[in-house]
Amino acid sequence: MAKLVTGGTGFIGACLVDQLLERGDEVVVLDRAQTNHWDGASRKPKIVIGDITNWPEVMNVFHDNSIDCVYHLAAMLSLPSEANPWAAFQVNVVGTMNMLEAVRLFGPNKIIMASTTGTYGLDIDAPEITDTTLQRPTTMYGSTKVFAELQGRFYRKKFGTDFRSVRIPSLVGPGIKTRAIGQYNSWMIEAAALGRPYVCYGLPDRGLPLIYYKDTAAAFAALSDADMDRIKTINYNIAGVNVSATPRDIEAAVKRLIPDAVISYDPDPVVVQYFATLRFDALNDDPARAEWDWQPKFGTVDAIVEDFAKEVRAHPERYPL
């Protein structure tokens, strides 16, 4: 039996696939984009190039492979979704519906999905977000992910589908290609580690809770492994650094490690608008810790920056900015 990872050639997906292969799982990837990530690797997934919005392509993946769990990560991220909301609807809403139907009809009826703290937005009445905070996003991306969370919950009730999800906060890691809100944190560290100046498109003093990519990938497998009867909350917040870290906080950590780093700011209007409606400073992930033993390995900005810079400096050829 194999694990199916949608979006498995993407940034988090490839790291998750590596971790699944590492623990001996057979892995099938469904993604519309190719990758050279496993060129020369001894352990590789089977890669199926296909689109989750194309129902026959999805059915064929289940017909051709024995799947016992789906990790559903394929999606359009925040800024691309704002630029093309019509495509975001197809991928994030219709594509997710296709995956829920596919696991119900052909598969193991088990699916772990990537959601986002971008599902929060207006009318937050406390500085700390919890799993029961009102989700009222103003973005296309956030709206599609709220739908996906609720649709998963519905499938669980109606069809007994073992649906679970993690809400990923601002992601940090080397080699991110897709521009989204918060990716400037990663590109700042990457540029500094490569000895290059960086102009940050974020607001210097507005931040988000963070998570390192290695922790994010590990969360999917940990959530999947937990016994069904422990899963009460279903859609879980997770974070590495639970209190918002601003670009200036990242800059300070970078400069502790790389004192001559050159960093300046030119905020993107979409980012400015996003923070104008966002009012939270911390993310509570207690239910994830209690129900499936969530525990990040990288829990401080300095720990993240240190591991990140080590990776970039060890393999600069992988990170041609």
Site of interaction with ligand NAD (CB under 6 A): 7, 9-13, 31-33, 51-53, 73-77, 91, 95, 114, 116, 168, 170-171, 178, 180, 182
Cβ closest to ligand NAD, residue 33 vs residue 105: 33
Cβ closest to ligand NAD, residue 9 vs residue 233: 9
Q: What CA–CA distance (Å, rounded) separates 195 from 277?
A: 35
141 is catalytic: yes
CA 1, distance to chain mean position in Å, is 25
3-state SS of the chain is CEEEEECCCCHHHHHHHHHHHHCCCEEEEEECCCCCCCCCCCCCCEEEECCCCCHHHHHHHHHHCCEEEEEECCCCCHHHHHHCHHHHHHHHHHHHHHHHHHHHHCCCCEEEEEEEHHHCCCCCCCCEECCCCCCCCCCHHHHHHHHHHHHHHHHHHHHCCEEEEEEECEEECCCCCCCCCCHHHHHHHHHHHCCCCEEECCCCCCCEEEEEHHHHHHHHHHHHHCCHHHCCCCEEECCCEEEEECHHHHHHHHHHHCCCCCEEECCCHHHHHHHHCCCCCEECCHHHHHHHCCCCCCCCHHHHHHHHHHHHHHCHHHCCC
**Which positions ≥6 away from 205 have C-beta within 8 Å?**
246, 247, 248
Cβ closest to ligand NAD, residue 258 vs residue 285: 285
**CB of residue 259 vs ligand NAD: minimum separation in angstroms?**
28
Cβ closest to ligand NAD, residue 114 vs residue 312: 114
Cβ closest to ligand NAD, residue 77 vs residue 223: 77
**CB of residue 119 vs ligand NAD: minimum separation in angstroms?**
9
Tokens 């596919």 sit at which residue? 102
**CB of residue 100 vs ligand NAD: minimum separation in angstroms?**
14
**CB of residue 286 vs ligand NAD: minimum separation in angstroms?**
19
Do 30 and 4 form a contact (C-beta atoms < 8 A)? yes
Of 71, 141, 201, 212, the catalytic one is: 141
Do 116 and 135 form a contact (C-beta atoms < 8 A)? no
**CB of residue 264 vs ligand NAD: minimum separation in angstroms?**
23
Cβ closest to ligand NAD, residue 168 vs residue 200: 168
Which residue minimizes CB distance to ligand NAD?
10
**CB of residue 151 vs ligand NAD: minimum separation in angstroms?**
14
**CB of residue 116 vs ligand NAD: minimum separation in angstroms?**
4
Cβ closest to ligand NAD, residue 121 vs residue 182: 182
Catalytic residues: 141
